[in-house]
Amino acid sequence: MNIHEYQAKEIFRKYGIPIPPGEVATTPEEAEAIARKFATTVVVKAQVHAGGRGKAGGVKLARTPEDAKIIAAQILKLTIKGLPVKRVLVTPAAEIASEAYVGIIVDRASKRPVLMASPAGGIDIEEVAAKTPDKILRHPVDPRYGLQAYEAMQLAFFLYSDMKQVRAAAKILQQLYKAFFENGGSLAEINPLVTTPTGEIVALDAKMVIDDNELDRRPDIAALRDESSEDPSEVEARKASLTFIKLDGNVGCVVNGAGLAMATMDLVKYYGGEPANFLDIGGSSNPEKVVAALRIITSDPSVKAILFNIFGGITRTDDVANGIVTAIKQNPLKVPLVIRLTGTNEEIALKILKDNGLSAMTDMDEAVKKAVALATGRKVA
Ligand code: GDP
Ligand code: MN
């Protein structure tokens, strides 16, 4: 789950990380009032779940409250990486002497959180990683002990040479690690971590991603979810207890079980198609889930064919068939549908489909080929 910069900053502040104050506005007038209260140059920052806001015109300095109002009005009209800006953070501007990067991700290869630090922070950290990877220091952390003081010092020496700054940065790294670990983070990042002309170290940006599996036991963190900033189809899928991930292709896939869903996507690609999504309706076979799944997939205009691939075990294929029939009655399909189902109650399922003018296949290979052919308009062999 993504959270906004202002929310991540609130968490980081609790752990003692130095962060300038800030308030959120949803209208230009509110932004103006906040700027007036701070009585100094402010930064107006788009709150969307996307990086690169600076480059997209979503982070701007405002010297007067009137400026803050005008700039907030501009930013609140922006769409950044497909996400409309509904809120801005207004925060006193810091003077910047240098910009560093510090971040933590969960690294599958080392099976640990890995801390990364770079003195070349700012808006182009991806470019630093690609072109000058030796400017980024990586350090796997043993989650049993957390980030130890000596490790934090080592990393901090990579960023600064002034001893006071090294100590301050080491403390921030330990605080960041704690914030990440104790709140179920899969990512925590400060970019830029700046030094000011007077030598202070301050975090000017904050990003945090929470591992979805941590949310059930952290209701306070789960409450930070902002559905208005999420993809509507992913919101609907979550409400229907479907595992859904939108992808870039045009073959809409409805599958039961994550393993079969992966295999289906592999086969779609093998035959030259591109899946439009990953969708797992799960092991149970509530027809309502099938209806929700079809509603989500058909609302995606890039879907050119829909493929059902159902292997009935605990899932009853007749329930799936009923779901398909109900969904199509509610909302007639505008794209071709290929159904493959086999397993529990297969005969009943096939009869339900046939009675409703639909047909199904039992061979997965044939079904995928047909769906790819329909989506691409090519012959698939
Ligand atoms: P991002 O582009 O989405 O990562 O947004 P950031 O919050 O990192 O802001 C982008 C850039 O704006 C930073 O790298 C800074 O150079 C600049 N910026 C952000 N806050 C301030 C500030 O308080 N003062 C100054 N002078 N620049 C800032
Ligand atoms: Mn940033």
Question: For 210-243, what is each residue's pLDDT tens digit?
Answer: 999 999 999 999 999 998 888 888 889 988 989 8
> Measured from the CB, is residue 54 less than 6 Å from ligand 1?
yes
Higher pLDDT, 23 or 109: 23
101 is catalytic: yes
Q: How far is the CA of 10 from the centre of ligand 1 (A)?
A: 18
Q: How far is the CA of 378 from the centre of ligand 1 (A)?
A: 48
> Measured from the CB, is residue 184 less than 6 Å from ligand 1?
no
Nearest atom (ligand 1) to Cα of 91: 23
Q: Which of 6, 61, 78, 96 to mutate to test the pocket of ligand 1 (most atoms within 8 A of CB)?
A: 96
pLDDT tens for each residue of 283-319: 766 788 888 999 999 999 999 999 999 999 988 999 9
Helices (H), 97-148: 125-131
- What's residue 232's pLDDT? 83
In the β-sheet with 251-255, what is the strand arrangement from edge to edge?
A: 243-246, 277-280, 251-255, 305-312, 337-343
- What's residue 343's pLDDT? 94
Complete domains list, the chain, with CATH: 21-92 (3.30.1490.20), 98-222 (3.30.470.20), 231-376 (3.40.50.261)
Q: How far is the CA of 237 from the centre of ligand 2 (A)?
A: 30
What token pair was written down for 290? Answer: 């099938």
Shortest-distance Cα residue to atom 7 of ligand 1:
205
Catalytic member of 32, 99, 189, 346? 189
* Residue 151: pLDDT over 90: yes
* Burial environment of residue 232 by CB neighbours within 10 A (0 to 12, 13 to 18, 19 or more): exposed
pLDDT band (50, 70, 90) for residue 26:
very high
pLDDT tens for each residue of 56-101: 999 999 999 999 999 999 999 999 988 899 999 999 999 999 999 9
Catalytic member of 101, 160, 177, 271? 101
- Averaged pLDDT of the chain: 95
Nearest listed ligand to the Cα of residue 190: 2
Q: For residues 130 and 142, give the distance between their C-alpha atoms in angstroms, rounded to a whole number.
A: 26
Q: For residues 166 and 209, give the distance between their C-alpha atoms in angstroms, rounded to a whole number.
A: 27
- What's residue 228's pLDDT? 85
